[in-house]
Amino acid sequence: PRAESIVQSTVRAHFQSDPTVAPGILRMHFHDCFVLGCDGSILIEGSDAERTAIPNRNLKGFDVIEDAKTQIEAICPGVVSCADILALAARDSVVATRGLTWSVPTGRRDGRVSRAADAGDLPAFFDSVDIQKRKFLTKGLNTQDLVALT
Protein backbone atom coordinates (compact mmCIF):
# COMPACT_ATOMS: atom_id res chain seq x y z
CA PRO A 1 0.00 0.00 0.00
CA ARG A 2 2.83 2.45 0.76
CA ALA A 3 4.34 1.85 -2.68
CA GLU A 4 1.02 2.70 -4.33
CA SER A 5 0.77 5.99 -2.47
CA ILE A 6 4.37 6.86 -3.40
CA VAL A 7 3.68 6.20 -7.08
CA GLN A 8 0.44 8.18 -6.91
CA SER A 9 2.03 11.22 -5.27
CA THR A 10 5.02 11.08 -7.63
CA VAL A 11 2.80 10.98 -10.71
CA ARG A 12 0.66 13.79 -9.32
CA ALA A 13 3.71 16.00 -8.60
CA HIS A 14 5.21 15.49 -12.06
CA PHE A 15 1.80 15.95 -13.71
CA GLN A 16 1.33 19.29 -11.97
CA SER A 17 4.57 20.62 -13.43
CA ASP A 18 4.18 18.91 -16.83
CA PRO A 19 0.74 17.52 -17.78
CA THR A 20 2.20 15.77 -20.84
CA VAL A 21 3.74 13.09 -18.62
CA ALA A 22 0.31 11.50 -18.08
CA PRO A 23 -0.30 10.39 -21.67
CA GLY A 24 3.41 9.66 -21.98
CA ILE A 25 3.36 7.15 -19.12
CA LEU A 26 0.20 5.50 -20.42
CA ARG A 27 1.79 5.14 -23.86
CA MET A 28 5.00 3.81 -22.29
CA HIS A 29 2.99 1.16 -20.44
CA PHE A 30 1.23 0.15 -23.67
CA HIS A 31 4.58 -0.11 -25.47
CA ASP A 32 6.00 -2.20 -22.62
CA CYS A 33 3.04 -4.58 -22.51
CA PHE A 34 2.74 -4.97 -26.28
CA VAL A 35 6.33 -6.04 -26.85
CA LEU A 36 7.23 -8.68 -24.25
CA GLY A 37 4.34 -8.42 -21.82
CA CYS A 38 4.05 -6.02 -18.88
CA ASP A 39 7.54 -6.75 -17.57
CA GLY A 40 9.10 -3.28 -17.37
CA SER A 41 11.66 -4.19 -20.03
CA ILE A 42 11.09 -0.81 -21.69
CA LEU A 43 12.78 0.76 -18.66
CA ILE A 44 16.07 -1.13 -19.15
CA GLU A 45 18.85 1.10 -20.40
CA GLY A 46 21.41 0.01 -22.97
CA SER A 47 22.59 0.80 -26.47
CA ASP A 48 20.29 -1.80 -28.06
CA ALA A 49 17.44 -1.88 -25.53
CA GLU A 50 13.72 -1.39 -26.29
CA ARG A 51 14.03 2.10 -24.92
CA THR A 52 16.32 3.06 -27.83
CA ALA A 53 14.03 1.74 -30.58
CA ILE A 54 12.58 4.36 -32.90
CA PRO A 55 8.98 4.04 -31.61
CA ASN A 56 10.20 4.55 -28.03
CA ARG A 57 12.75 7.33 -28.41
CA ASN A 58 10.29 10.13 -27.69
CA LEU A 59 8.36 8.48 -24.87
CA LYS A 60 7.86 10.73 -21.86
CA GLY A 61 7.79 9.76 -18.23
CA PHE A 62 10.94 7.74 -17.65
CA ASP A 63 11.95 10.30 -15.03
CA VAL A 64 8.65 9.82 -13.20
CA ILE A 65 9.17 6.05 -12.96
CA GLU A 66 12.79 6.51 -11.86
CA ASP A 67 11.73 9.05 -9.23
CA ALA A 68 9.08 6.70 -7.81
CA LYS A 69 11.50 3.74 -7.88
CA THR A 70 14.14 5.73 -5.96
CA GLN A 71 11.63 6.66 -3.26
CA ILE A 72 10.29 3.11 -2.97
CA GLU A 73 13.77 1.59 -2.82
CA ALA A 74 14.58 3.89 0.11
CA ILE A 75 11.84 2.33 2.25
CA CYS A 76 11.62 -1.25 0.95
CA PRO A 77 14.62 -2.15 -1.21
CA GLY A 78 14.28 -4.96 -3.72
CA VAL A 79 10.57 -5.58 -3.10
CA VAL A 80 8.56 -3.63 -5.69
CA SER A 81 9.29 -4.32 -9.34
CA CYS A 82 9.73 -1.63 -11.95
CA ALA A 83 6.98 -3.39 -13.92
CA ASP A 84 4.55 -2.82 -11.03
CA ILE A 85 5.63 0.80 -10.66
CA LEU A 86 4.98 1.40 -14.36
CA ALA A 87 1.55 -0.28 -14.19
CA LEU A 88 0.59 1.76 -11.12
CA ALA A 89 1.89 4.96 -12.72
CA ALA A 90 -0.15 4.31 -15.88
CA ARG A 91 -3.30 3.97 -13.79
CA ASP A 92 -2.43 7.07 -11.75
CA SER A 93 -1.77 9.02 -14.95
CA VAL A 94 -5.30 8.31 -16.13
CA VAL A 95 -6.64 9.39 -12.73
CA ALA A 96 -4.56 12.60 -12.89
CA THR A 97 -6.36 13.53 -16.09
CA ARG A 98 -9.72 13.00 -14.36
CA GLY A 99 -10.20 9.56 -15.82
CA LEU A 100 -11.48 6.47 -14.07
CA THR A 101 -9.45 4.42 -11.65
CA TRP A 102 -9.10 0.66 -11.30
CA SER A 103 -7.29 -1.73 -9.03
CA VAL A 104 -3.87 -2.83 -10.25
CA PRO A 105 -2.80 -6.29 -9.16
CA THR A 106 0.87 -6.29 -8.24
CA GLY A 107 3.51 -8.99 -8.14
CA ARG A 108 4.94 -8.65 -11.64
CA ARG A 109 8.53 -9.68 -12.15
CA ASP A 110 10.86 -7.39 -14.02
CA GLY A 111 12.03 -8.56 -17.41
CA ARG A 112 15.75 -9.08 -17.83
CA VAL A 113 15.79 -8.96 -21.63
CA SER A 114 15.28 -5.78 -23.65
CA ARG A 115 16.07 -5.61 -27.36
CA ALA A 116 15.32 -2.68 -29.65
CA ALA A 117 14.40 -5.07 -32.46
CA ASP A 118 11.46 -6.40 -30.43
CA ALA A 119 9.81 -2.98 -30.62
CA GLY A 120 9.20 -3.69 -34.30
CA ASP A 121 6.08 -5.53 -33.11
CA LEU A 122 4.51 -2.23 -32.03
CA PRO A 123 1.70 -0.95 -34.22
CA ALA A 124 2.82 2.11 -36.15
CA PHE A 125 0.68 5.05 -37.21
CA PHE A 126 1.51 4.31 -40.84
CA ASP A 127 0.50 0.62 -40.65
CA SER A 128 -2.59 -0.29 -42.62
CA VAL A 129 -5.62 -1.42 -40.66
CA ASP A 130 -4.99 -5.00 -41.79
CA ILE A 131 -1.40 -4.91 -40.48
CA GLN A 132 -2.52 -3.40 -37.18
CA LYS A 133 -5.25 -6.05 -36.83
CA ARG A 134 -2.63 -8.75 -37.48
CA LYS A 135 -0.24 -7.29 -34.88
CA PHE A 136 -3.02 -7.19 -32.30
CA LEU A 137 -4.17 -10.72 -33.18
CA THR A 138 -0.67 -12.10 -32.52
CA LYS A 139 -1.00 -10.70 -28.99
CA GLY A 140 -4.39 -12.34 -28.46
CA LEU A 141 -6.23 -9.05 -28.98
CA ASN A 142 -9.13 -8.38 -31.34
CA THR A 143 -10.43 -5.50 -33.46
CA GLN A 144 -12.35 -4.04 -30.52
CA ASP A 145 -9.10 -3.97 -28.52
CA LEU A 146 -7.38 -2.26 -31.46
CA VAL A 147 -10.00 0.48 -31.56
CA ALA A 148 -9.87 1.00 -27.80
CA LEU A 149 -6.08 1.11 -27.58
CA THR A 150 -5.14 3.19 -30.62
Can you say which residues are annotated as belonging to the binding site for Ca(2+)? 32, 35, 37, 39, 41, 50
Region label for 45, one of left (φ > 0), alpha (ψ between -120 and 50) or beta (otherwise): beta
Residue numbers in the known binding site are 32, 35, 37, 39, 41, 50, 123
Asked if residue 33 lies in contact with residue 90, where contact means CB atoms within 8 angstroms, the answer is no
- Cα separation, 36 vs 31, whole angstroms: 9
> Does the active-site annotation cover 29?
no
Closest to 26 measured CA to CA, from 76, 81, 99, 115: 99
Task: Name the active-site residue from 14, 27, 29, 31.
Answer: 31
Residue numbers in the known binding site for substrate are 123
Active site residues: 31
